Structure 1
Amino acid sequence: MSTRARLSELGVELPSVAPPAGSYLPAVRTGSLVYTAGQIPLVDGKVVATGKVGAEVSAEDAAALARTCALNALAAVDALVGIDSVVRVVKVVGFVASAPGFTGQPAVLNGASDFLAEVFGEAGRHARSAVGVAELPLGVPVEVELVVEVA
């Protein structure tokens, strides 16, 4: 089954790629790898949540936002090379705007990781970094970037 068909089966539609907020590209290919820029939780071009995880945003809500970020990263991959060219997800890097004392960054990033496994099966399992930070762009609680291998 193609990735596009799998997304459809899951009831997921790839969004339009958000225009860059600075001097960078949404995704870049080098050889057989595509690196995405960090993707934030945008829906229809609008930030859907702000705040720190562990204070204004629950870990569960942040995990759902991480899924949105991963979907936005897949849209950037699709716009560059086509989603069906993805062979495997290699690495996920996630940043969590964390309230003091919040240490649940891995659980937050499971929102992205579990989604990628749903979409790509075993090829969606990946290496990952989950990093707690003081602030993220536009005050969002989570940001995700991907490295994928393409055919």
Structure 2
Amino acid sequence: MKNVNEILGLKNTNEVNEKLNELLASFQVYYQNLRGFHWNVKGKMFFTLHNKFEELYDDAAEKVDEVAERILTLGGTPLHTFEDYLKTSKIAVVKDENDGMKLVEATLENLSTLIKIERELLEVAEKADDEGTNALASDFISEQEKTVWMLNSLLG
């Protein structure tokens, strides 16, 4: 039986899977940050931000699943423990913050980090002739850049 990479006609995907796991771990911390933001936000923009953070964490949960499934598609094993996520994530945990505008700023910082990882992933996937991962990362980047623009506009 052929391995998945042979069937898909891909070159060595070890580096792709490493970068995908970095993205997965970072998305998991981003997701958990957003849950905390949703629960704890206070201020004049409470209703707007409470709903926006929920929208963003629902989207992040879907992306977590897509990334994990991409790793499996490429014959890898997705990280799946909080210990591994915290060790691998490029996003820092945000704790004990409830000011709405500071949470928006933290979300922008988190999104900036995710976009940086995804751009690095594009380069790694290109070397492996991995169009599926390229498409995934490109789609994520397009959506997140629009979210960055909108959140940045909210800050003025």
State the TM-score, normalizing by the size of structure 2. 0.30
| Higher Cα Rg, which structure | 2
Structure number with higher strand proportion: 1
